[in-house]
Amino acid sequence: MPATALSNLVFDHRFIRKLPGDPVQENYRRQVRNCCYSRVSPTPVSAPTIIGWSAEMAATLGLAPEAEAHNETVQILSGSAVPECLAPFAMRYGGHQFGNWAGQLGDGRAIILGETISPQSGRWVLQLKGAGPTPYSRTADGLAVLRSSVREFLCSEAMFHLGVPTTRALSLVTTGESVLRDMFYDGNPEMEPGAVVCRVSPSFTRFGNFQIHATMQEYDLLASLVDYTITTDFPELGPPSPEVREEWFRQVCIRTADLMTHWMRTGFVHGVMNTDNMSILGLTIDYGPYGWLEDFDTNWTPNTTDASGRRYCYGRQPSIALWNLLQLANSLTSLFDDSKPLQNGLDEYTRHFNQQCLKMMKSKIGLQESESERSQQLAEALPELLQSASADMTLFYRKLADLSLVPDKSETSLPPCNDSTLDQFAEVLYDPKNLNSDTQSQILAWIRDYQAELQRCGVIDSSRKLSMNAVNPRFVLRNYLAQMAIDRAEQGDPSLIAKLLDVLRHPYEDQPENEQYGQKRPEWARDKAGCSMLSCSS
C-alpha cells in the first residue's frame, strides 16, 4: 500500500551507517576533517506552504496521492519537523570552481533527511535545499529564495521528462519568511521570499566528495568511500577489487559522456560545471544559473559570473566534463599502482562521447540509420549554420521535421528547395532581417544536400518526422517562462508553476492548446533580469 505520510516510508540511512561522521555535534561553520558528513538538523520556519508537487516523484517513492495534503508532509519538507525515522546530515566535499581548487565546500545549504528504500524503485535520498546553515555554509545563511527554488523544482522535473539523467524534485515549499539577497551583486541587497526544495536522487555523491579526501591525504577514508559507492550505487560491478575499481571509474566516465550528449542534444547549458556540481552517477545536479540555447550560440553561457571567460558555455561543456573527470582521476591515484587504469577511463570518455554525439546529431536530422560520410557531414555542418542565422535551436529542429522534402508517395521529382523554403524558417529566427545572402545561400545548399541524402537513404517525410520529434523537444523550460512563474509566485499566485510542470511533462508532443509556452524568447525578455543570463545568487 502507498504511504500516506513521509514517515511511513522505509528508511535505512546506509551512508551514515557505513561511513565515518564528524565527531563534533555542534552546528557552526568550520573546517571539518577525517569524515564524510556532519549530523545537522534543518531550521524550522514560521508558515510553510507547499506550492509545487511532483506527483510522479511521489508515486516513485511510494507515497499515496493524499500525502501531499498531509500536515506532516509540509512540516518535514520545510525542515520544521524531523521525525525519529529521519537522520539528517550534510555531506562533506571539496571542489574546483572555475578551474581553481576551492578547498572545503560541502552541503552549505542542503541537508539530507535520509535514505528511503522503495521495493519498486530502489534507493532514494531525500535532501532539503535551503533549510538552514551547516558546518559547510562558510559565510552564507544556508537558506534559499523563491526564485531559485522555482527554477530548481521545475527544471529537475523538466529534465526527467526530456529523458536527461537528473536529480529529481518532490516538492517546493514557501517558508513564510524573508531572505536577504544581493541578486545583482551590486551592493544593493533586498529581502526576498524564502523557499525550500526537496530534491531526490539515488545518490548526491559528487566528484568533490572524493577530491576532499585526496587533498587532505585521508587515503583510507577515500578508499572506504570508493568501495561504499561501488557497493551501494554500482552493485552490478560486483564486490570491490582493483579490477572493479578500474571498471567503476570507466563507468563514471561513460555515464558522464552520456550526460553531455543529452545536454548537447537538448541545448541545455548548466552554467556552473564545477567539480562539486558533477554527480558520480552521471546525473544533472545543482540547478543554478542554467538555461537553454535560444538564438543558437555555442559560446553562450547563462551565468553572469562566467560572462567574461565563458568557461562553462554550451560548446565547452563536453571538454569541461573531461577536465573534471581528470581532476577526479587525480584524486584516485592512491588506489592504483599506476595511472593506466585511470587514463583508460578518460580515453573511454572521449571515445564514447564522440561516438554517441555523432549518433545523436544524426538522429536530430532523421539520419540516425545512415552510416554514410555525407550524413555525418550534414549533421556536423548544421550547428554553424544555425549560429550564423541566429536560429532558435528548439524551434528550428521541429520546423525542419515539418518540411516537405521526400513525400511518402513515390514521385519522380522532389519538392523544390528555393527561397520559399527559407521563408518557412523565418519565424524561428531572432533577426530574420539581418540574415545575409551568403548565409541564406549556405542554408539553402544544406537543405538541398539534406534532401538528396534523405532520398538516397530512403527516408520519407512521415518516418523522418516521427524519429526527429522523438529526440527534438517542442517545449523546454525557457528562462523567460520560469521568470514569469517566479513573478506570479512572488505575488502569491503559484498557478503558473503547476501549469508549466504540466506542459513540460510532455515535451515532445505538439500540445496546440499550450502553444504560448513553446514560443521563442520575446523581445521584452532579451535583457530582462532572470530571462537570459542569471547570477549564482540564491
Task: Supply 7's cell numbers.
Answer: 514517515
| Residue 254 confidence (pLDDT) | 98
Mean pLDDT is lowest, of 12-16, 405-409, 483-487, 531-535, for 531-535
| Residue 182 confidence (pLDDT) | 86
Q: State mean pLDDT over 389-396.
A: 97
**Helices and strands: H and E segment counts in the chain:** 16, 11
Active site residue 297: no
Asked whether residue 528 is domain-assigned, the answer is no
Tens-place pLDDT, residues 266-300: 999 999 999 999 999 999 999 999 999 999 999 99
Give the pLDDT band (50/70/90) at residue 434: confident
Q: For the chain, what is the mean pLDDT?
A: 96
| Residue 90 confidence (pLDDT) | 98
Give the pLDDT band (50/70/90) at residue 44: very high
Q: State mean pLDDT over 171-183.
A: 95
Q: Which of 107, 276, 306, 392 is catalytic?
A: 276
CA-CA distance, 317 to 337, in Å (whole number)? 31
Is 90 exceeded by the pLDDT of residue 168?
A: yes
Helix (H) or strand (E) holding 149: helix 146-162
Three-state secondary structure call for residue 429: strand
Asked whether residue 511 is domain-assigned, the answer is no
Mean pLDDT is lowest, of 111-120, 129-138, 384-393, 428-437, for 428-437
The verdict on 85 and 228 lying in the same domain is yes
Asked whether residue 173 is domain-assigned, the answer is yes
Three-state secondary structure call for residue 31: coil
Could you please report the per-residue DSSP string of 51-99? EEE-HHHHHHHTB-GGGGG-HHHHHHHTTS---TT---EEE--EEEETT
Q: State mean pLDDT over 68-75.
A: 94
CA-CA distance, 259 to 528, in Å (whole number)? 30
Give first-to-last CA distance, the chain, whole Å. 38
Three-state secondary structure call for residue 482: helix
Task: Supply 302's cell numbers.
Answer: 547563462
C-alpha distances out from residue 271 to 292, 455, 531, Å? 10, 40, 14
Task: Supply 378's cell numbers.
Answer: 550534414
The verdict on 382 and 329 lying in the same domain is no
Tens-place pLDDT, residues 208-219: 999 999 999 999
Tens-place pLDDT, residues 408-428: 876 667 888 988 999 999 999
Asked whether residue 350 is domain-assigned, the answer is no
The verdict on 298 and 260 lying in the same domain is yes
The verdict on 291 and 394 lying in the same domain is no
Three-state secondary structure call for residue 224: helix
Q: State mean pLDDT over 317-342.
A: 98
Give the pLDDT band (50/70/90) at residue 173: very high
Three-state secondary structure call for residue 445: helix
Mean pLDDT is lowest, of 360-369, 425-434, 459-468, for 425-434
Which residues have CB under 8 Å from 46's CB, separation 6+?
A: 175, 176, 177
Cα angle for residues 29, 34, 37 (degrees, 5° grid): 55
Q: Is residue 65 a contact partner of residue 57, using CB atoms and an 8 Å limit?
A: no
Q: At which of 469, 494, 509 does a domain end? A: 469
Q: State mean pLDDT over 379-394.
A: 96
CA-CA distance, 208 to 276, in Å (whole number)? 5
Spatial CA neighbour of 210 closest among 198, 199, 225: 225
The verdict on 319 and 186 lying in the same domain is yes
Is 90 exceeded by the pLDDT of residue 1?
A: no
The verdict on 278 and 372 lying in the same domain is no
CA-CA distance, 180 to 150, in Å (whole number)? 17
| Residue 411 confidence (pLDDT) | 60
Asked whether residue 9 is domain-assigned, the answer is yes
| Residue 119 confidence (pLDDT) | 82
Is 70 exceeded by the pLDDT of residue 153?
A: yes
| Residue 412 confidence (pLDDT) | 62
Burial 104-114 (b: 16+ CB within 10 A, else e): bbbbbbbbbbb
The verdict on 7 and 134 lying in the same domain is yes
Give the pLDDT band (50/70/90) at residue 433: confident
Q: Note if the pTM is more than 0.85.
A: yes
Could you list the residue range(s) of the whole structural domain that residue 265 is in?
1-336
Q: Strands across the sheet with 89-91, in order?
A: 37-39, 89-91, 110-118, 122-129, 190-201, 168-181, 49-53
CA 117 to mean position of chain CA atoms: 24
Q: What percent of the chain has pLDDT over 70?
A: 99
Task: Supply 158's cell numbers.
Answer: 523538466
The verdict on 242 and 388 lying in the same domain is no
CA-CA distance, 156 to 489, in Å (whole number)? 18
Q: At which of 469, 484, 516 does a domain end? A: 469
Task: Supply 233's cell numbers.
Answer: 550505487
CA-CA distance, 52 to 157, in Å (whole number)? 11
The verdict on 371 and 325 lying in the same domain is no
Q: At which of 407, 437, 469 does a domain end? A: 469
| Residue 413 confidence (pLDDT) | 77
| Residue 410 confidence (pLDDT) | 63
Tens-place pLDDT, residues 360-382: 999 999 999 999 999 999 999 99
Give the pLDDT band (50/70/90) at residue 533: confident
The verdict on 98 and 193 lying in the same domain is yes
Domains of the chain: total: 2
CA-CA distance, 66 to 499, in Å (whole number)? 20
